[in-house]
């Protein structure tokens, strides 16, 4: 595109790996729970119900995930939960914070390519301290004009970002892996959207893409952005 564009990037599971660590923590949790009748998929369904409620109250992040696991354990455990049991459950989530940050393949060189050509913005949701730490250790921060961490990414937060930065919608694109938090809200307010699916996207972040003729690109790899922008 010859004209300079505003490219807004999601962070978790778009720039770096994230949900895979939550999945590993859940697997440890399900094994520790050892429910006599529920399969791991059944346990996951109960946890999903808890997370749907709690994300509206507490938001996201590893520590909030740990609290959700603890609540799930208290609901499903077939024995009286002890303090040691609850601490063990919380430790599964706490270990997520100890994982080294891993950029997704092609991210570093693609961001370096795009930064001189277009205006890059980082727009992520989650626990502010956790997200700030990941942004810092990624080494990508200098390439972004602006970084915003919000409790939820929806049409309202997108409108606020566009208004705050004075972005022209016809030259603005959201790049992300979540149809719920990246693609649909961007399309709803008239932005372009670049959907880069991730095989391990959290199930609660997936929904049918609602596109009524808007600007939507679907790419197989992050590095393909260089061919589009």
pLDDT digits (tens, 9 = 90+) for 13-69: 999 999 999 999 999 999 999 999 999 999 999 999 999 999 888 888 999 999 999
Q: Please check whether residues 60 and 131 belong to one and the same domain.
A: no
Residue that terminates a domain, selected from 68, 98, 128:
98
DSSP string covering 167-208, please? --GGGEEEEES-IIIIIHHHHHTT-EEEE---TT--GGG---
> What residue spans of the chain are helical by DSSP H?
19-33, 40-57, 62-76, 83-94, 107-114, 128-138, 155-165, 184-188, 225-228
Do 136 and 214 belong to one domain?
yes
Query: Does 1 reside within a domain?
Result: no
pTM score of the predicted model? 0.92
Same domain assignment for residues 117 and 180: yes
Q: Mark which of 64, 98, 132 sits at the end of a domain.
A: 98
CATH number at residue 47: 1.10.150
Write out pLDDT tens, residues 101-111. Answer: 999 999 999 99
Query: Domain residues for 179?
Result: 6-16+101-228
pLDDT at 2 over 80: no
> Residue 132: its pLDDT value, please?
95
* d(C-alpha 188, C-alpha 178), whole Å: 14
State the total domains in the chain. 2
10 plus 123 within the same structural domain: yes
Q: What sign results for the dihedral spanned by CA atoms 159, 161, 167, 169?
A: negative
- 118 & 88 share domain: no
The answer as to whether 152 is a domain residue is yes
How far is Cα 118 from Cα 99, in angstroms, rounded to an integer?
A: 31
For the stretch 83-99, pLDDT in tens is 999 999 999 999 999 99
Residues 71 and 123 in one domain: no
The mean pLDDT value of the chain amounts to 95
The confidence score (pLDDT) of residue 213 equals 80
User: How do residues 157-187 score in pLDDT, each as one tens digit?
Assistant: 999 999 999 999 999 999 999 999 999 999 9
Among 69, 98, 127, identify where a domain stops.
98
């Amino acid at each position: 595109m010859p004209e300079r564009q505003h490219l807004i990037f999601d962070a978790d599971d778009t720039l770096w790996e994230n949900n895979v660590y939550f999945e590993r923590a859940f697997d440890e949790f399900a094994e520790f729970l050892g429910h006599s009748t529920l399969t791991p998929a059944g346990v996951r369904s109960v946890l999903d119900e808890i997370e749907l409620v709690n994300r509206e109250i507490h938001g996201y992040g590893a520590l909030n995930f740990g609290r959700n696991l603890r609540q799930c354990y208290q609901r499903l455990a077939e024995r009286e939960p002890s303090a040691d049991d609850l601490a063990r459950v919380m430790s599964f989530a706490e270990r997520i914070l100890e994982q080294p940050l891993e950029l997704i393949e092609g991210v570093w060189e693609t961001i370096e390519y795009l930064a001189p050509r277009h205006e890059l913005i980082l727009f992520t949701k989650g626990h502010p301290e956790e997200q700030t730490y990941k942004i810092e250790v990624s080494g990508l921060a200098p390439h972004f004009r602006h970084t915003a961490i919000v409790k939820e990414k929806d049409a309202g937060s997108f409108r606020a970002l566009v208004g705050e930065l004075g972005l022209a919608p016809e030259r603005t694109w959201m790049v992300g892996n979540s149809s719920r938090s990246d693609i649909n809200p961007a399309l709803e307010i008239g932005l372009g959207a670049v959907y880069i699916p991730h095989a391990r996207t959290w199930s609660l972040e997936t929904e049918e893409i609602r596109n009524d003729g808007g600007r939507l690109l679907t790419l197989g790899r992050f590095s393909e952005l260089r061919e589009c922008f």
